[in-house]
Structure 1
Amino acid sequence: MKKLLYATLALVGLALPVQAETVSIALSGTEDIKKNGEYVFAKTFSDHLNANGVKTVIHPSNSVGKEKERFDQTAQGLVHVNFADAALLFKLAPMVKAIYLPFLYNGNRHFDEVVEKSNMISRINDDLGVHGIRLAAFPFRGGQAGIFNTQHPITKFIDLSDIRVRAKDNLQLKIFESWGAKATIVDWSEVANALQTGVADGYVNPPAAATLFGHTDILKHFTPMNIGPSPRTVLLSEDWYASLDDDTRKIIDDGVQRGLAANRAWTENWIAFASDILREKGVKISPLEPGERDKFVEASKPLWPLIVGKENVAILMKAAL
């Protein structure tokens, strides 16, 4: 069966691990040390492994397949380390949705504290193991999310009432509507066109998003709101990880921690850098007025149990406090 799978992947042009002892690392973005936080993690991780006698190869920009394909290859052990969209795990481990709870986290450091104190990764891995996947870390792509829009500054809760916010799914649709905004589901590939035609007036994302995706010609306002972090996931092949000897496994674990530390340091620098770029591109940054964020928090709280369940909310709230 495995030979057939290897042959099939080769036919469709997907890269295979270079050799049995070489760790295959799959990215969804480019090898850009300045702009891609995932690559900052991946390079630091890879450098640590190579320095300790473990060979690696990094496959950039979906070169071994898109999200679903890379996920399947990781579960099969064809890819050893995969940087993936957390949404792929939602049905397998409901606790993963906790990373997107709006306004639960007061900042990136608070997010890391809640993940640690709630044993979030261990709880998630209890569900993922049977699927051949192990969650190792949550690398950030940028700072905490805020709202971009084409219409006017948003400094108060009520200012969203005439803004149509792009949602990626029904869950986000409910969240944005709870804030008093109009919302419409738009696939990310169609966002630029939706903004140009008025189908959507804006979206929720970290400050770097509009710059990275070339939307600053359309979006002219950004409100930093600390809605939540912008995490991805580092997934390991469970069978591969379990097969490692103790010394090699420690090298892998240490590499993950080094990659995470480098990613967090990059994130802090990138937040300021991205904000400067937005201003240079003519995007006005308008903070919320005092007390207004609390209104968003209170509007969002009733949705938390719908997202992750009451039991998980209780665990997270205990960790958050």
Structure 2
Amino acid sequence: MTCALVLSTGAAQAQTVKIALDSAADMENSGPYVWVHTFGQYLQEHGFEVEEFERGALGGEAERLDQVQQGLLEISSSDTKGVAALAPVLTPMTLPFVFPGIEAMDRALASGILDDANAAATVEGVRILGFSTLGGPVGIFNTQRTINSAADMAGLRMRALDEAQIAIYGLWGTTGTIVAWDEVPNALQTGIADGYVNPPLVPILFGHTGFIRYFTDARISIGTRTVIASEDWYQSLSNEQRQIVGEAAAAATAASRAWHATRSAELQMLRDNGIEVTELSEEAWNEFRTLSMPVYSMVPMPEGTMDRWFAAIAE
């Protein structure tokens, strides 16, 4: 089943550009949709035919990545961690307390890191077009209690994406359990998991406000999604068409960053939905950051990658 929106023109390309969404088609609240929709509109205005497929219509994360690699799907808004497995130089984007803000992340990517990531990813059939954001900085959601310090995490079992995230929870003095995203509502309601880390808007977008009760604005990281294209599709384009794709990606990134700048109201949105919001003191924030730093050496990545990112951020 596809979204109702189909973008097309009389000068459309012979093949429809399929875009796999990863969230609701909501230009107000979904940062990933702002990116891909702006991208699709630009393509449409320059002669491409574009079709958006709603979340899940073309499979889960692994299925969509596989389809992109095989050239069966042109564009996907995908999990950054999954893309980083193909281009390990992007691994710091998935780690806690690396970026002081979105500008620092973009500055590091533009320093040559994105070029190196694409050199690795294109060999695997994937071209990285850009990164959307999920809203304000990632914080800690849970169903049980207010979190003012790392000590308050004790006894909570947090939903984890993978073993690396479980390791981070261990450094914070708590435990994690791997739960697929589609299973999170059931896990939270049955006590399989007591919470998760995500940007502020996530429980609102995914309907979790009925059982999430607490949010700590821990400023852990910047939640991102990576927009990828099939390298087979990209190589089939003319030079003029590739230029249009590049311009579309630049327009989409600009729209994404403009949207990101409007997210200061998200904490109030949580409060309006019955979620208690706690902002960490600087002392507590530094405690979490110090506790988290050993994870940098636990995660496989090319030697010197963390130093390279920190140097680019500092410039």
Query: Aligned residue for 1:53?
Result: 47
Query: Aligned residue for 1:41?
Result: 35
Question: Secondary structure at the residue paired with 2:52?
Answer: strand
Q: How does 1:260-279 map to 2 (within 5 A)?
A: 260-269=253-262, 271-279=263-271
Q: How does 1:126-145 map to 2 (within 5 A)?
A: 126-145=119-138
Q: Which of 304, 310, 315 is 1:311 aligned to?
A: 304
RMSD: 2.0
2:227 maps to 1:234? yes
- Cα distance in 1, alignment partners of residues 182 and 94 from structure 2: 21
Checking the alignment, whether the CA contact within 8 Å between 1:25 and 1:56 is kept in structure 2 is: yes
Checking the alignment, whether the CA contact within 8 Å between 1:157 and 1:293 is kept in structure 2 is: no
Query: Aligned residue for 1:299?
Result: 291
Q: How does 1:116-127 map to 2 (within 5 A)?
A: 116-117=110-111, 119-127=112-120
Query: Aligned residue for 1:162?
Result: 155
Give the alignment's TM-score, normalised by structure 2. 0.88
Query: Aligned residue for 2:145?
Result: 152
1:17-46 alpha-carbon deviations (Å, 9 max, x no partner): x96343322223332222222221122112
The list of structure 1 runs, each at least 4 consecutive aligned residues, that deviate by more than 3 angstroms after superposition, is none
Q: Which of 16, 25, 32 is 1:31 aligned to?
A: 25
Q: Which of 63, 71, 79 is 1:77 aligned to?
A: 71
Q: How many residues align?
A: 302
Query: Aligned residue for 1:194?
Result: 187
Checking the alignment, whether the CA contact within 8 Å between 1:38 and 1:141 is kept in structure 2 is: yes
- Cα distance in 2, alignment partners of residues 22 and 192 from structure 1: 35
Question: Secondary structure at the residue paired with 2:86?
Answer: coil
2:279 maps to 1:287? yes
Question: Secondary structure at the residue paired with 2:167?
Answer: helix
- Cα distance in 2, alignment partners of residues 285 and 263 from structure 1: 25
Gaps of 5+ in 1: 1-17
- Cα distance in 1, alignment partners of residues 101 and 146 from structure 2: 22
Question: Secondary structure at the residue paired with 2:282?
Answer: coil
| 1:113, distance to aligned residue in structure 2 (A) | 1.9
Give the alignment's TM-score, normalised by structure 1. 0.87
| 1:200, distance to aligned residue in structure 2 (A) | 2.3
| 1:309, distance to aligned residue in structure 2 (A) | 4.6
Checking the alignment, whether the CA contact within 8 Å between 1:107 and 1:226 is kept in structure 2 is: no
| 1:90, distance to aligned residue in structure 2 (A) | 4.0
The 3 A distance-change label for structure 1 pair 43 and 188 is: closer
1:211-234 alpha-carbon deviations (Å, 9 max, x no partner): 122222222111111111111111
The 3 A distance-change label for structure 1 pair 174 and 259 is: same
- Cα distance in 2, alignment partners of residues 246 and 237 from structure 1: 16
Checking the alignment, whether the CA contact within 8 Å between 1:157 and 1:179 is kept in structure 2 is: yes
The 3 A distance-change label for structure 1 pair 24 and 318 is: same
- Cα distance in 2, alignment partners of residues 183 and 80 from structure 1: 35
Q: How does 1:88-127 map to 2 (within 5 A)?
A: 88-117=82-111, 119-127=112-120
- Cα distance in 1, alignment partners of residues 193 and 72 from structure 2: 40
What amino acid sits opposite 2:79 in the alignment? D
Query: Aligned residue for 1:180?
Result: 173
- Cα distance in 1, alignment partners of residues 97 and 265 from structure 2: 23
Question: Secondary structure at the residue paired with 1:139?
Answer: strand
| 1:239, distance to aligned residue in structure 2 (A) | 2.3
- Cα distance in 1, alignment partners of residues 207 and 54 from structure 2: 21
Question: Secondary structure at the residue paired with 2:146?
Answer: coil
- Cα distance in 2, alignment partners of residues 246 and 39 from structure 1: 27
The 3 A distance-change label for structure 1 pair 78 and 314 is: same
